[in-house]
């Protein structure tokens, strides 16, 4: 190979090697692992207590966690004298009331949280995923489930039956975690 050609080839290989090195970081494939379901005690909302908050912690013992998420699903039902009146009037359970839930990182601003409606009588599912910064091999994030009764007939009692499942996105080039857990904090 001529000297000038070799010089150009060396420069080109240097550039390619630099790009391959940069692209090499963060190239590991990932896989999502989920926890066992946590069935929380029902949340009961009334005119007198139209909102409730629950703090949940999703955690995994791993240095490889990239994202950790929480999924809350269940149903919203209502009862009380107003329910009977609505049934007598031929209204469906979804007609008279609904609530909203804000699921987000504890203490976060509204922009970081997801707000989704849950119509009474219909199943709901609220999801939130956050990036994770493992510290000392443990990654945990606290989520706040903030449920508010937006509209309900006077005297209605709204019961939210819910289940939470945590998920974690992990690098699969290292061993899988022992477990991913979700707990309800006091």
Partner 1 sequence: MTPGDSKQAVPGDGLLRPIPLVALVVLALNDHVLKTAWPGVVTGKLSDIAGLAFFPLLLQALWEQGLVIAARPWGPSRRALAVATLATLLVFALAKTWGPANELVRDAAGGLSWPFRAAWACLQGVALPRAGRPMLVRDPTDLLTLPALLLAWWSRRV
- β-bridge mates for residue 36, sequence order: none
10 binds partner 1 (CB under 8 A): yes
Measured distance CA(72)–CA(100) in Å, rounded: 13
- β-bridge mates for residue 183, sequence order: 57
Among 23, 89, 110, 178, which residue sits at the site for partner 1 (rule: CB under 8 A)?
23
Q: Cβ distance 78 to 156 under 8 Å?
A: yes
Going residue by residue from 83 to 122, which x/- string records binding to partner 1, judged by CB under 8 A? ----------------------------------------
7 binds partner 1 (CB under 8 A): yes
140 binds partner 1 (CB under 8 A): no
DSSP H stretches of helix in the chain: 3-24, 81-88
- Reading the block at residue 185, the tokens are 């904090």
* Site of interaction with partner 1 (CB under 8 A): 3, 6-7, 9-11, 13-14, 16-29, 31, 63-64, 66, 134-136, 171-175
């Amino acid at each position: 190979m001529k000297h000038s050609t070799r010089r150009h080839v060396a420069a080109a290989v240097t550039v390619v090697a630099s790009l391959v090195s940069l692209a090499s970081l963060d190239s590991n494939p990932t896989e999502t692992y989920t926890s066992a379901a946590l069935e929380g005690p029902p949340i009961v909302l009334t005119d007198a207590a139209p909102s409730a908050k629950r703090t949940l912690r999703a955690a995994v013992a791993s240095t490889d966690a990239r994202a950790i998420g929480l999924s809350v699903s269940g149903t919203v039902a209502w009862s009380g004298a107003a329910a009977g009146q609505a049934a007598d009037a031929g209204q469906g359970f979804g007609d008279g009331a609904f609530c909203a839930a804000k699921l987000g990182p504890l203490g976060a601003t509204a922009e970081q949280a997801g707000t989704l409606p849950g119509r009474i009588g219909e199943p709901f599912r609220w999801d939130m995923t956050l990036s994770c910064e493992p510290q000392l091999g443990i990654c945990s994030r606290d989520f706040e489930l903030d449920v508010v009764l937006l509209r309900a007939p006077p005297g209605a009692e709204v019961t939210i039956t819910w289940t939470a499942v945590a998920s974690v996105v992990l690098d699969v080039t290292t061993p899988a975690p022992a477990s991913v857990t979700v707990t309800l904090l006091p």
